[in-house]
Homo-oligomer: A and B are copies of this chain.
Amino acid sequence: MITVGIIGMGRIGKVHTTSIATRVQNARIKTAADPFMTEETAAWAKSMGVEHTTKDYHEIINDPEIDAVLICSSTDTHSQISLEAIAAGKHIFCEKPIDHDVARIQEVVEALKGKNLKYMVGFNRRFDHNFRAVQQAVAAGKVGKPEIIKITSRDPEPPSPEYVKVSGGMFLDMTIHDFDMARFLAGCDAVEVYAQAANLVDPAIGEAGDIDTAIITLKMENGALAVIDNCRRAAYGYDQRAEVFGSLGMAAASNDSASNVQISTADGVTGEKPLFFFLERYMDAYGREVSEFVDAIVNDTPTPLGVEDGLKPVLMGIAAKKSLDEHRPVRIEEVL
């Protein structure tokens, strides 16, 4: 049994709190911290078995009883808190991305060297039942040598222009998950990126300096070609699909919906839309993700994702932005 602290009690901090309370066997949450901790949140946390709440995350960092921290605070604090937690000898689960700045991530990489600490980045989609089944089929050789990887990732609703301004841009905010998925499915890194993008959904996003629709092509180290298509708005809900095509065939994952019921009438045969957004689609994946982090600590085995898995998608996102700006394919090594 390990003792954890959760830093950041926004939406995702609450998801992880619930997972640990209800389905993770070997962990208890001692402390939850949030600079804006409300009475309501504190009461909810207690109802979930959290022993103590605070506005100051240092109470977690400095608590010798706490083995591991989950960093669920705002992105701009991830690397700083990571460094403090490493210094304090804590295992770390950090929400993606570690930072938008490669140098800051590399500080974390450096700080971890020689320490016997687990560091896991929260790319939740790797724990989705569908994508995991595709990856396992590929890894088991069922599609042969991967040749074409296709990832579709579209959000149901665009973010506010205010969010867009601080998001780091679509490639680092949204596509970063798909960059991780490309690495996960291909089983290797990308070597080159070409991004084609446009502002088609909401002019305010363009005015905020970002794009909202994109097709990004990748060359992977193993020779496979990959393509990601993104849009910040899909009228029918959260569209999350992937396929891997190889020398022996194809493995493809489609969307899940709330039921599989088909209604046939004079107007056609109609089924439900995909599950609305990430909390609906990936709730189970969030639970599995934290379980596997805890298991890795308890059993002293490698975490499913390491700190380098936090770095690589950021490099891909930076390369994609450079590709878009310079209107040419960009090699990953150019942005290192």
Q: Which A residues contact B (CB, under 8 angstroms)? A: 21-23, 129-130, 132-134, 137, 142-145, 147-148, 150, 152, 154, 194, 196-198, 200-201, 213-215, 217, 219, 223-227, 229, 231, 233-236, 239, 245, 247-274, 327-329
Docked Cα-Cα span, A249 to B198, in Å, equals: 18
Closest partner residue, chain B, to A263 (CB atom): B251
Closest Cβ of chain B to A154, distance in Å, is 7
> A217's contact among B148, B217, B219, B236, by CB below 8 Å, is which?
B217
Closest partner residue, chain B, to A145 (CB atom): B200
Docked Cα-Cα span, A144 to B231, in Å, equals: 14
- Chain A to chain B contacts (Cβ below 8 Å), 5 pairs: A147-B213, A154-B245, A251-B264, A252-B264, A268-B271
Q: Write out the residue numbers on chain B whose beta carbons fall within 8 Å of the beta carbon of A194.
A: 194, 196, 217, 329
Docked Cα-Cα span, A130 to B256, in Å, equals: 13
Q: Beyond A217-B196, A225-B198, is A261–B253 a contact (Cβ under 8 Å)? A: yes
Q: Write out the residue numbers on chain B whose beta carbons fall within 8 Å of the beta carbon of A22.
A: 21-23
Docked Cα-Cα span, A201 to B144, in Å, equals: 12
Docked Cα-Cα span, A220 to B21, in Å, equals: 46
Q: Beyond A150-B229, A227-B215, A248-B265, is A259–B143 a contact (Cβ under 8 Å)? A: no
Q: Write out the residue numbers on chain B whose beta carbons fall within 8 Å of the beta carbon of A245.
A: 154, 229, 231, 234
* Shortest 3 CB-CB contacts between residues of A and residues of B: A249-B265, A22-B22, A133-B259
> A196's contact among B144, B225, B268, by CB below 8 Å, is which?
B225
* Copies of the chain in the assembly: 4
Cβ contact within 8 Å between A225 and B235: no
Docked Cα-Cα span, A232 to B12, in Å, equals: 44
Cβ contact within 8 Å between A236 and B265: yes
Q: Beyond A23-B22, A196-B225, is A253–B263 a contact (Cβ under 8 Å)? A: no
Cβ contact within 8 Å between A130 and B253: no
Closest Cβ of chain B to A104, distance in Å, is 31
Docked Cα-Cα span, A329 to B263, in Å, equals: 32
Docked Cα-Cα span, A225 to B215, in Å, equals: 7
Besides the known contacts A197-B225, A236-B250, A264-B273, 8 further A-B residue pairs in the complex with CB atoms under 8 A apart: A130-B260, A137-B263, A217-B217, A217-B227, A235-B247, A250-B264, A253-B261, A268-B272
Cβ contact within 8 Å between A270 and B273: no
Q: Write out the residue numbers on chain B whose beta carbons fall within 8 Å of the beta carbon of A229.
A: 148, 150, 225, 227, 245
Closest Cβ of chain B to A112, distance in Å, is 33
Cβ contact within 8 Å between A215 and B148: yes
Q: Write out the residue numbers on chain B whose beta carbons fall within 8 Å of the beta carbon of A200.
A: 145, 147, 223-224, 247
